[in-house]
Structure 1
Amino acid sequence: MTLKTLIASAALATFATGALADEKDTVKVFYDLLSNPGSQDHIAAFEGATSADWESLGDYSGKNKTREVFLGQMGGFAQLIPDLDWNVQAMHQDGNFVTVRSRATGTPVAPFFGVDGEGRGFDILTIDIHELENGVIVRTWHVEDWAGALQQLSGK
């Protein structure tokens, strides 16, 4: 291997690693919003990290959520679960996809999905797959263990 080839390879590796870190940082903005759903700064950052036609897939109704609908839902979560925390535990990137394993915790201050938790909290596992194009998230698939949350809130 020539010195020129070695330098070019090192430069390419540095560039590629920086691009991956940037995309993971973009995805991290999503979780910052989940943990701060009422924050205007986090809403603005989320809007900058997602495309205008971003969609959330994972609603069991079969309907995808637009960015505006999702942000409206986050506003409701801010009031219902003021201590909501979405902790990223692992993040893996493969091409344009970033998969995240996280843990969501919180204590609703009113009935949640019809369950009055009477001051109890929940601690659930979540899995998300984010697809990125041109440095922004264009779609997110997600699965949360809301059944487990409701079981914890009901005390059973």
Structure 2
Amino acid sequence: MATYNLAAAGAIMLAFASTASAQDLTEVQARSIITPWYSLFNVASRGDVKSTEEQVLTADYDSCSGYLPGECWGRDVSIKVVGNFANSIPDMKFDIKEVLVAGDRVIVRGEVTGTPAGDLFGVPHSGKSFRIMTIDIQTIKDGKIAKTYHMENWLSALSQLRTK
């Protein structure tokens, strides 16, 4: 029969709780960290993409939309990707609908709307707009976004743009 040392177990749990709570974010803290980054997708309030990303993303930031080669990229590529949205979807808007916080992770359910200025992912320009849902899981490190796993429902956007 195994013996159970309550004092040792309590010390381990207390050490774990102290470590975990040092990394736990409140929703207010999480929103203050992520909001400047999401504002970059709102073309009207965008500002300097490079400067903002350097302020809110870690130097070794990763953005991942999948697991295959080329589906993760660093901060420099992210600056270009976000910057290109202004050209392809000049009225793009990102609306944060829900924020959930788990330790150093911030889960964001958002909505992206916009009207492409030209062809989008091979769909010819029609002047139509789209509205899609997004899900992001942000990892926060030292007050900055260190990694983003993201899914946008671009298939729905393309379907909306194709409808007659």
RMSD, aligned α-carbons: 2.3
Q: CA deviation at 1:124?
A: 0.2
- Please tell me whether residue 80 in structure 1 is matched to residue 88 in structure 2: yes
- Which residue matches 2:139? 131
Where does structure 1 differ by over 6 angstroms across 4 or more consecutive aligned residues? none
- Please tell me whether residue 148 in structure 1 is matched to residue 156 in structure 2: yes
Question: 2:44–2:91: 8 Å Cα contact kept in structure 1?
Answer: no
AA aligned opposite 1:53: D
Aligned pair partner of 1:50 in 47, 50, 57: 57
Aligned pair partner of 2:38 in 31, 35, 40: 31
Q: CA deviation at 1:118?
A: 0.7
- Which residue matches 1:110? 118
Q: CA deviation at 1:22?
A: 2.4
Q: CA deviation at 1:36?
A: 2.8
Q: CA deviation at 1:45?
A: 2.4
What is the TM-score with the length of structure 1 in the denominator?
0.81
Unmatched segments (≥5 aa) in structure 1: 1-15
User: What SS is found at the alignment partner of 1:34?
Assistant: coil
Larger Cα-atom Rg: 2
1:90–1:38 Cα change, 3 Å: closer
- Which residue matches 1:22? 29
Residue-pair matches, total: 141
User: What SS is found at the alignment partner of 1:117?
Assistant: coil
Q: CA deviation at 1:40?
A: 3.8
Q: CA deviation at 1:46?
A: 2.5
Name the CA distance, whole Å, in 2 between partners of 1:132 and 1:109. 34
Q: CA deviation at 1:61?
A: 4.5
Question: 2:53–2:79: 8 Å Cα contact kept in structure 1?
Answer: no
Name the CA distance, whole Å, in 2 between partners of 1:67 and 1:30. 12
Percent identical: 32
1:136–1:17 Cα change, 3 Å: closer
